Structure 1
Amino acid sequence: MSSNSLVASLMNAETATKACDAHGDYLSTHVVFGKTDTWSGCPDCAEEKRQRDQVKEFEENRKIAAQNRLASRIGYACLPPRFAGKSFESYRADTEQQKKYLENCKQYAENFPEHLKSGDGLMLLGNPGTGKTHLAVATLNYIVQHHGEAGLYTTAARMFRRIKDTYTSKDETESQAIDAFASPALLVLDEVGVSFGSDSELNYLFDIMNERYEQCLPTIIVSNVPPGDLGQWVGDRVVDRLRECSKLMVFNWESARRELGRGAA
């Protein structure tokens, strides 16, 4: 049957008054078209269903968009595969000191919107293999997933290498590279003290940390360097700013990697 025949069929269709339990009487049309032979339903019910379907579709699209934004933020955080799944739940806290530091980081992550206003950060310093990076990354993961903020993880060496690569690159300027580390809501800077601590690196680090300090953007510093030696690797000016706005936690217990090594033997 052609569309013209359908229109003609509807124009000449039989009508009758039907009753809807929800909306009362309505005019129903007897639709006969091809193999279809039925009476039309309540138009108010049909409109309500259309609106429900529209809301459902909107919610589904909103959830997909939120998932995509989260995936984008997690990707932006540049977490290496080994650290991507680190969480507070997977952190091993046996001693009272470990439990205290775990709770400190959890509270920091939960209250991050307040820290973002004040620019307060964390310094996780001490022995290798004591879980500093785990707690720093767990904090970053929580903030990205629960507060929707843009965070970035990097090592000091990787940060300096990216900046120095701009010397021979046409794709990114030095200022753009510095801004990539100066602008995220949270920067986790790991392995501070592993690089050479040259004058140029100290200047780059000061530029980044000073910009973050002025903009009240929190930073989590992770280093195996003792607190008293930190200035040698980041410069006294950076240390002054960190002391002003960062909570210090010193991880002075034995490396968990050594325990695992002995157990494996």
Structure 2
Amino acid sequence: MPVKPSASSIAELRRMLQKLGVTEILPDEQVHYHAGQIETAYQGRIACKTCRKEEKPALSCTRTGVRCQDGKLYFFFETCPHATSSHLASLREKLHALGIHEEVDDAALEEHCVDIEDAERSARRCASCDKQDESVLSCICTKLGFEDGELHLRCGQCPRSRQVKERLEQERLAREQMDQLVISKRFRSRRFQNFRLFGKAADTCRLVKKWADEWSDERGMGLLLHGQAGNGKTHLAVAAMMEVHERFGVPAVFDVLPAFLAKLRQGYRKTAQEREKDALVGDRDLFDFYAKVPLLVLDDIDKVSRSAGGQPTSWTREVVFLLVNYRYENMLPTIFTMNAAPEAIKPLFGEAVYSRIAEMCYFIRDDGADYRMLFGSPKI
């Protein structure tokens, strides 16, 4: 037979129920039947009142709750009230960290609890991320906003993706710009800044730089630098080309005239399919590529090979004339360099070539002994 509970134990259990918020009068048998659960719930309530846990540990606390419905007792697990308040406080701190300082009520915090947690984790992940490559562009971040008194969750690209995208775009443009530049490796570093000013070379450098600074493809005026070997004509010609290319984005080509003629002669021996695969000009004809480029620098134009009679071949003279004439007629600036005086152009390539170069170029002697001021009428 079951042991009949004493009156004192029943009274104590009823007192515990009252402390737990159950004020209904229940039969002694039912109170006795749930004695263990009532004591557990009561002890949990006492433990909560004396709890001194910090806010974050309280988030994991639960206790046994009890209610009476239709004359029956129901027991359940509930979150510690300290945990609820500390959880809301934690959510408010996270909102502040996310830059949201507006007042948000408790109901909205509970409703957007998961969103706030996701946005806070996303912000921490972004803060510790050190990606600088294209992988950043695929990163999706959770962002939280506050508009019209309500919290709104949005997903978007990583905040740093714009900076990375801009940097990658600048690098792409720089590569494209370099693809528009044809110049041998040795001369890519030639600039006005690293030109050694010796003797009267300072005057030559100043004139060439002025031409580059006041670049205008509408006038179609180029330069002819002449003087003895080793005076820096090639350096200054390349420096001017690089200055115009980098500042104004002008596609440019540098080559030595004898080398260009050799490549052209070799190209004529190729089949159509081989020319199409040419790495330098793709499917464009080599001559057209040089003739039509916005800025062309031809170095050592007086160093072309000559026949037994001391003159360039008729093929060379014809190619040079066609090249110069095309650029002359289309007002495409060209920079020439040569060691001999400009008059040497006449016996080399003919009066027609000389007269065109004289009209389309400013003549500058690199020794500063005999040259016209830049932007005056070209004169020897």
TM-score range, shorter chain: 0.7 to 0.9
TM-score, with length taken from structure 2: 0.54
Q: Which residue matches 1:164?
A: 265
1:98 aligns with 2:201: yes
1:127 aligns with 2:206: no
Q: Which residue matches 2:248?
A: 147
Residue aligned with 1:117, SS: coil
Can you give the 5+ residue segments of structure 2 that lack an aligned partner in the other structure? Answer: 1-83, 121-142, 147-152, 277-283, 307-311, 370-380
- How many aligned positions are there? 230
1:78 aligns with 2:156: no
RMSD: 3.1
Structure 1 runs, 4 residues or longer, greater than 6 Å off: 14-17
Instruction: Indicate the structure with greater helix content.
Output: 1
Range that drifts further, 62-71 or 215-224: 62-71
1:67 aligns with 2:174: yes
Q: State, as a whole percentage, how many aligned pairs show the same letter.
A: 20
Deviation at 1:168, TM superposition (A): 1.6
1:24 aligns with 2:112: no
CA distance in 2, matches of 1:47, 1:89: 51
Is the 8 Å Cα contact of residues 192 and 233 (structure 1) preserved in structure 2? Answer: no
Instruction: Note closer, same or farther for the CA distance 1:50–1:167 as it changes in structure 2 (3 Å cut).
Output: closer
Question: Relative contact order (C-alpha < 8 Å, sep 6+): which is higher?
Answer: 1
CA distance in 1, matches of 2:256, 2:360: 21
CA distance in 2, matches of 1:52, 1:215: 48
Residues 83-118 of structure 1: CA distance to partner in whole angstroms, max 9, x if unpaired? 2211112212233x3211101111111222x1x111
Deviation at 1:227, TM superposition (A): 1.9
Q: Which structure's CA Rg is the greater one?
A: 2
TM-score, with length taken from structure 1: 0.75
CA distance in 1, matches of 2:205, 2:195: 8
Deviation at 1:22, TM superposition (A): 5.1
Q: Which residue matches 2:330?
A: 215
1:183 to 292, 297, 309: 292
Amino acid at match of 2:300: E
Can you give the 5+ residue segments of structure 1 that lack an aligned partner in the other structure? Answer: 1-13, 255-265
Q: Which residue matches 1:110?
A: 213
